Amino acid sequence: MAVSENYAYLIPERFSDGQATPLLCAGAIGYRDLMLSGIKKDQVLGLFGFGASAHIVIQIAKYWGCNIFVFTRGNEHRKLAKKLGASWVGGAEDEPPEKLHCAIDFTPVGETVPQALKVLEKGGRLILAVIRKRNPIPPLDYAQLLWDEKEIKSVANITRKDAQEFLSLAAEIPIIPEVQEFKLEEANRALILLKQGKIQGAGVLRMSEKEG
């Protein structure tokens, strides 16, 4: 297959095809989430949900010297978060040991928005890193949740510059993607496991040489 270099990215040699796959989507958008959050060294970052993007974001944030709290339901996801450097893990409804300077919400549910705002520091920013929420965001009590100059910002797209910067940074850190590979004919099974929250890190579909 031939492709114009204007629409291709140079993959650092240290990554296998399987490892590079989540970097080009979940990783690159996660990098944009972090940049838009405005997080700084020694500040507290909260990650709501811990899937393909969040497990890469935590590695960048640790490299930048941030303190990371992870809010997620699954025990396996909590174990992975701890393994990758989270200093605290709990559920979305739990009270963390400190307020968050910034938070990124990767979940598909609306309820996490007020929960994140509740534990956000004054002047903090909440990034909504999903394409859509499958249920509405509940009404927000302005005085309790948005007062004190808190912000909510959505993320829609990544730029070519984002992806280029991120791939270079990923090799420098280096990021180690947690990848679970599936054959192409196992795509439906992979989607079911994803829905059930049973995929650790990122799921990758691999085409055989015959299929390619």
Please report, for the chain, the start and end positions of each structural domain, with discontinuous segments joined by +. Answer: 17-157+166-176
What confidence tens digit (pLDDT) does each residue in 23-43 have? 999 999 999 999 999 999 999
Question: What tokens does 108 get?
Answer: 């598909």
Q: Is the pLDDT of residue 1 over 90?
A: no
CB atoms within 10 A of CB 159: 10
In 3D space, the residue among 94, 103, 151 whose CA is nearest the CA of residue 129 turns out to be 103
**pLDDT value at residue 32:** 97
Q: Is the pLDDT of residue 210 over 70?
A: no
Question: What tokens does 14 get?
Answer: 């240290």
| 202 burial via Cβ count (<10 Å: 0-12, 13-18, 19+) | buried
What confidence tens digit (pLDDT) does each residue in 133-186 have? 988 999 999 999 999 999 999 998 899 999 999 999 999 999 999 899 999 999
Q: Which CATH number fits domain 17-157+166-176: 3.30.420.10, 3.90.1150.10, 1.10.540.10, 3.40.50.720?
A: 3.40.50.720
> CA angle, 195 as apex, 18 and 109 as ends, to 5°?
115
